[in-house]
């Protein structure tokens, strides 16, 4: 198969050289000068990025001469319309744009996000009405707001970076921008006070020419097909976009080496414990069970280290084909919709016919369902891979923030507000007053609280059943306590001992992966805390999260009656 692909590429290159004499004019390819990692000018002022390398690869396999010119996006779009630029290497598709431009098959799917300052309300597109919304001039989201009449006050900038800087400085309300470039830029520019709060759009992104320039578009479409079939497109994609998807990944090879040494030390300690336990068995019978439990914990820790290394590698290998499916399945679905009119016309004029070995009258109902099921299945794989990465990523966060537990709980509730409203009409929160702070990582603790609330929502069997949260300080232990209690279906005794085991779930039929509580338990252990469960079937569940308070704050904390909040 590999030999066939190589031969195909060689034939395609020879064919392109034969039909592209050296005296053909150079093709001017336009793009955005500041849209990393897709396209940008590097430190030397030269075009760089995913789009640029893809264009150069297409030029190579098709035997054509190209010149990549990058500038302000609105100016480059105008240059395409006026004929100064022959083709744009990255434009998002829309029905309105398709009236003026022709598009090649997409080489990426770009997610558009609503960015907000941390702590600001989470909104969807309808929530932008009456708000000041920053967009890049001439960008797809600029077109969308103007053409749909959303009712937002539009503020335009020349680049995504300018839009994010404006938002981070406290000016205007939201920014409607491409997700991946904005995450990249906010990290590079140190804009830590902004974050994406919604991803309302996923748009096809690819080459575009002025309407009617079919010959040029066909060359780039054919070159892109060759790159996809030979695997070169995926290599370019992984080079520029893969590192951003895997940002924050742990150097598992190095950790594996350390883990092996630690495992050896643990085994030696374990052996000593076993010998010591046998020597003192008759004299200290009351400690036998405690030592046995400690032994099991050490073995489990060793297993978790090995499992984390395995999970990281598996998640990476699954992610590549999964990304290809997520890219191609929406295109196949759109292609079928475009062909449906022709198939229906044949059906009405000639009667039923076979397609894929079955009657068309049946397949026209089955094909959309099959494509939707495949797309949903791929998205589920993506979610599971994300959970696996979270599981494998335990232990890499910096625990250097001074956290207000009440504020962390408020933020978590705000993020899952829709799930809460869908699950129950009785949701109550009891916030303790004058709580001391806790040292840790705010996002990690927030993730734990979100998991506990979502689990409580999923345990409810009717909206009349309630969920009750309480925060308080426990002076005798010096711990901050969060209790999450639900009136749901409860948990049987056999399952209680396995709740935090990786991949154990009582909800596998409804999409559970068995990683949420395992990840949460690992985060809590990192913070020196504990996670305890009390439940019985039909009686609901109470989860108690305990975290050590900062010593200085705990000494000055005075327990007081909690304040009620709904």
Specify whether the CB–CB gap between 432 and 473 falls below 8 A.
yes
Q: Which segments of 39-139 are extended strands (E)?
A: 39-41, 47-48, 66-71, 87-92, 101-103, 108-117, 132-136
- CATH of residue 230's domain is 3.40.190.10
DSSP state of 506: S
Largest CA distance in the chain: 97
Where is the domain boundary, 329, 361, 392?
392
122 plus 211 within the same structural domain: no
Q: Are residues 511 and 421 in the same domain?
A: yes
Q: Which residues contact 458 (CB under 8 A, 6 or more apart)?
A: 423, 488, 507, 510
Tell me how far apart the alpha carbons of residues 343 and 346 are, in angstroms, rounded to a whole number: 5
Tell whether 532 and 439 lie within a shared domain: yes
List CB contacts of 195: < 8 A, sequence separation 6 or more: 115, 116, 118
Separation in Å, CA 429 to CA 153, 409, 442: 36, 9, 19
- 3-state SS string over 325-356? HHHHHHHHHHHHHHHHHHHHHHHHHHCCCEEC
- Cα separation, 273 vs 282, in Å, equals 15
> Helix (H, G, I), strand (E, B), or coil: what is residue 145?
helix
- pLDDT given for residue 292 in this prediction: 64
Q: Name the one residue in this structure whose structure tokens are 């036998």.
A: 288
CA dihedral 493, 499, 502, 503 (to 10 degrees): 70
Long-range contacts of 494-501 (CB under 8 A, 24+ apart): 496/533, 496/535, 499/533, 500/531
Give the dihedral sign, CA 350/356/362/365: negative
Please state the separation of Cα 11 from the chain's center in Å. Answer: 39
Instruction: Name the domain boundary from 363, 392, 421.
Output: 392
- Tokens (6 digits) for 180: 């991946």
* Rounded distance between C-alpha atoms, residue 379 and residue 322, angstroms: 8
Sign of CA dihedral 437, 439, 441, 446: negative
Do both 494 and 549 map to the same domain? yes
Both 166 and 220 in one domain: the answer is no
Q: What is the pLDDT of residue 113?
A: 93
Distance CA 291, CA 287 (A): 6
pLDDT value of residue 12: 44
241 and 180 in contact (C-beta within 8 Å)? yes
> pTM of this prediction?
0.42
Which residues are within 8 A (CB) of 202 and not within 5 positions of it... i.e. 6 or more apart?
Answer: 109, 110, 111, 112, 330
Same domain, 561 and 447: yes
In this prediction, residue 21 carries a pLDDT of 44
Q: What is the pLDDT of residue 453?
A: 92
Q: Based on the number of CB atoms within 10 Å of its own CB, is 401 exposed (0-12), middle (13-18) or buried (19 or more)?
A: middle
Sequence-distant (6+) residues with CB within 8 A of 64 are: 16, 20, 24, 27, 58, 219
Predicted pLDDT of residue 309 = 53
Counting the structural domains of the chain, the total is 4
Q: Which of 392, 410, 434 is the last residue of a domain?
A: 392
**pLDDT tens, N- to C-terminus, the chain (566 residues):** 444 444 444 444 554 444 444 456 799 999 999 999 999 999 999 999 999 999 999 999 999 999 999 999 999 999 999 999 999 999 999 989 999 999 999 999 899 999 999 989 888 888 999 999 999 999 999 999 988 888 999 999 999 999 999 999 999 999 999 998 998 898 889 999 999 998 888 889 999 999 999 999 999 999 999 999 998 999 999 888 876 655 434 444 454 556 667 767 777 887 777 777 777 776 766 666 665 655 555 555 445 555 555 555 666 677 778 888 888 888 888 888 888 889 888 889 988 898 888 888 888 888 888 888 888 888 878 766 765 565 555 555 577 788 999 999 998 898 788 889 999 999 999 999 989 999 998 888 988 898 899 889 988 999 999 999 999 999 998 999 999 999 998 888 777 767 766 655 665 555 455 566 777 888 888 889 999 889 888 889 999 999 999 876 665 665 544 444 44
341 & 260 share domain: yes
**pLDDT given for residue 24 in this prediction:** 61
Burial state string for 187-223 with b = 16 or more CB within 10 A and e = fewer than 16: eeeebeebbbbbebbebbbbbbbbeebeebbebbbbb
Burial 253-266 (b: 16+ CB within 10 A, else e): eebbeebeeebeeb
325 and 283 co-located in one domain? yes
**Distance of alpha carbon 299 from its chain centroid, rounded?**
33
CA gyration radius for the chain? 29
Same domain, 428 and 560: yes
Based on DSSP, count helices (H) and strands (E) in the chain, helices before strands: 18, 22
Q: What tokens appear for 9 in the block?
A: 């590429």
> Do 194 and 210 reside in the same domain of the chain?
no
**176 pairs with which residues across the strands?**
114
Do 189 and 125 belong together in one domain? yes
The pLDDT value given to residue 20: 42
Cis preceding linkage at 101, omega within 30: no
Domain of 521: which CATH number? 3.30.565.10
444 shares its domain with 550: yes
Q: Which domain holds residue 154?
A: 109-205
Nearest in space to 20 (alpha carbons), one of 28, 9, 12: 12
What's the rounded Cα separation, in Å, for the pair 159 and 72? 7
Identify whether the C-beta of residue 438 lies closer than 8 Å to the C-beta of residue 400.
no
Q: Name the phi and psi angles at 202, rounded to 5.
A: -130, 115
């Amino acid at each position: 198969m590999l030999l066939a692909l190589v031969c195909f590429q060689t034939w395609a290159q020879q064919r392109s050289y034969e039909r592209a004499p050296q005296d053909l004019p150079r093709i001017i390819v336009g793009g955005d000068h500041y849209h990393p990692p897709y396209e940008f000018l590097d430190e030397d002022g030269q075009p760089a990025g995913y789009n640029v390398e893809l264009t150069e690869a297409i030029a190579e396999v098709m035997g054509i001469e190209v010149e990549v010119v990058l500038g302000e996006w609105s100016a480059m779009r105008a240059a395409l319309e006026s004929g100064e630029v022959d083709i744009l290497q990255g434009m998002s598709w829309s029905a309105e744009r398709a009236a003026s431009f022709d598009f090649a098959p997409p080489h990426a799917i770009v997610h558009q996000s609503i960015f907000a300052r941390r702590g600001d309300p989470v909104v969807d597109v309808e929530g932008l009405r009456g708000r000041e919304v920053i967009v890049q001039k001439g960008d797809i989201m600029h077109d969308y707001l103007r053409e749909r009449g959303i009712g937002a006050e539009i503020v335009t900038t020349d680049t995504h970076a300018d839009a994010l800087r404006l938002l981070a400085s406290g000016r205007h309300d939201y920014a409607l921008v491409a997700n991946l470039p904005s995450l990249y830029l906010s990290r590079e520019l140190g804009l830590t006070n902004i974050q994406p709060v919604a991803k309302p759009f996923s748009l096809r992104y690819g080459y575009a020419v002025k309407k009617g320039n079919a010959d040029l578009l066909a060359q780039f479409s054919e070159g892109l097909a060759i790159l996809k079939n030979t695997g070169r497109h995926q290599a370019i994609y992984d080079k520029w976009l893969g590192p951003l998807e895997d940002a924050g990944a742990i150097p598992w090879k190095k950790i594996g080496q350390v883990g092996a040494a630690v495992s050896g030390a643990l085994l030696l300690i374990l052996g000593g414990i076993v010998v010591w336990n046998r020597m003192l068995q008759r004299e200290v019978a009351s400690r036998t069970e405690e030592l046995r439990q400690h032994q099991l914990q050490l073995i489990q820790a060793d297993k978790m280290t090995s499992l984390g290394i395995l999970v990281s590698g598996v998640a990476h290998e699954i992610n590549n084909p999964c990304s290809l499916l997520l890219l191609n399945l929406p295109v196949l679905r759109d292609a079928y919709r475009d062909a449906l009119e022709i198939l229906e016309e044949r059906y009405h004029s000639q009667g039923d016919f076979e397609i894929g070995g079955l009657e068309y009258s049946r397949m026209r109902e089955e094909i959309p369902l099959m494509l939707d099921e495949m797309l949903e299945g791929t998205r589920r794989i993506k979610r599971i891979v994300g959970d696996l990465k979270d599981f494998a990523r335990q232990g890499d966060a910096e625990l250097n923030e001074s956290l207000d537990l009440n504020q962390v709980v408020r933020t978590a509730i705000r993020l899952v507000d829709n799930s809460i409203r869908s699950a129950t009409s009785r949701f109550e929160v009891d916030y303790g007053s004058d709580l001391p702070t806790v040292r840790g990582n705010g996002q990690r603790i927030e993730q734990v609280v979100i998991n506990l609330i979502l689990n409580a929502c999923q345990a409810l069997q009717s909206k009349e059943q309630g969920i009750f949260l309480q925060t308080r300080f426990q002076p005798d232990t010096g711990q901050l306590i969060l209790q999450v209690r639900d009136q749901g279906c409860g948990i049987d005794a056999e399952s209680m001992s396995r709740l935090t085991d990786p991949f154990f779930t009582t909800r596998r039929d409804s999409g559970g992966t068995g990683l949420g509580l395992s990840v949460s338990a690992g985060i809590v252990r990192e913070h020196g805390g504990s996670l305890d469960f009390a439940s019985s079937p039909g009686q609901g569940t109470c989860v108690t999260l305990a975290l050590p308070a900062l010593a200085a704050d705990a000494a000055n904390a005075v327990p007081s009656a909690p304040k009620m909040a709904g």
